[in-house]
Amino acid sequence: MIDLRSDTVTRPTEGMRRAMLEAPVGDDVFGEDPTVNRLEEYVADLLGKEAALYAPSGTMTNQIGVHIGTNRGEEVLLHEGSHIFVYEAGAPAMLSGVQLRTLPGENGVLDSETVRAAVRSEDVHFPRSRLLCLENTHNTSGGKVFPLEDFAAVATTAKELGLKVHLDGARLFNAQAATGVPASEWCAHADTVSVCSSKGLGAPVGSLLAGDEETIGGGRRTRKAFGGGMRQAGIIAAASLYAFENHVDRLARDHEHARNLASGLREAGYEAREPETNLVLVAVDDPPEFLRALAREGVLATPGKSGYVRLCTHLDVCDILGTEEGIQQVVTACLRATETISSIKG
Ligand SMILES: Cc1ncc(COP(=O)(O)O)c(C=O)c1O
């Protein structure tokens, strides 16, 4: 099977497993796990922030960001296709008692005018607009990069309007690899930033929330309340540390494989968007049926936006997709899946 469902399917490498085995540990709820402490310092530095907090998942670090950036009854502005809105099980309402206001924007990019128009005036009838959440790269738009200039502009507007800014940077290092712009440059415009080690970086688990000391101090309390206080967490934090130290630069290879795959698919007659990072969106007639037929041909993928399927390149398929034969194997599987569907539908 060639598993292109997500970059979350990667398994720890040998080096990563060794780092886990050898990690010094302690009780992290007491702040005594040396590996977690090292990871938090390393990631805070990487993102240009004062402090960082280790948590089990990107959903948790996003939700801690939402919780500490708002008060109950307030409103969060975010893109209509954002992970926090679409894929986090209604957690902002469940955990923080806030309301979400979704906004349109091409490729996941929100602009200043849209945000300005959405911010509520002071009136007892209205919820208070409090937090703007931005996402980079943007998952449902096919891994699009939020251009730094646009990001800075909308974040500056948000701050002028009295909002805090949270960045869902689950794949922020893909944006760095695609553009050469250091991740910290986007982070400079956000109050809190969530980054994941368990996506393209290849760790089995773990995300971090970064911000200033005081904010992250508050986040530590919220993490405990959300059930994310872990004890000898160094054993898994070691995998995240290894991922940040060793796997950031290799993301460029996943992007190259995604471009090669998209171009192979276009040559075979598909409408495949030119990927900026590691997600390839391919237009097909009947995505659910296509995905079932594709699985029978030995390739796994997921639904993309409406009318598309999504193929994701990552560490565990690096060797296969690094060859022309590997790319052709996936293209051929797609062609066979399309043929199967056409023959069924007559
Ligand atoms: C953009 C984005 N944010 C957050 C998450 C949540 O991460 P996790 O699966 O670790 O909760 C994901 C997961 O794919 C994601 O794509």
Q: Which residues line ligand 1 (CB under 6 A)?
A: 57-59, 62, 83, 135, 139, 168, 170, 196, 198, 207
- Full-model pTM: 0.97
For ligand 1, mutation pick of 8, 54, 59, 305 (most atoms within 8 Å of CB): 59
Task: Decide if 204 contacts 241 (C-beta within 8 A).
Answer: no
Residue type, 51: A
Q: 294 to each of 122, 151, 265, 303, 329, how far by Cα in Å? A: 53, 37, 14, 12, 11
Provide the pLDDT for residue 77: 98
The residues, any chain, with a CB within 8 Å of residue 113's CB and separated by 6 or more, are none
Ligand 1 centroid distance, CA of 140 (Å): 11
Q: Are strands 192-196 and 207-211 parallel, antiparallel or unpaired?
A: antiparallel
Q: 56 to each of 84, 86, 195, 229, how far by Cα in Å? A: 16, 20, 11, 9
pLDDT tens column, 128-174: 999 999 999 999 999 999 999 999 999 999 999 999 999 999 999 99
pLDDT tens column, 42-96: 999 999 999 999 999 999 999 999 999 999 999 999 999 999 999 999 999 999 9
SS3 51: strand
Atom of ligand 1 nearest to the CA of 198: 10
User: E strand or H helix at 101, and its extent?
Assistant: strand 99-103
Provide the pLDDT for residue 256: 98
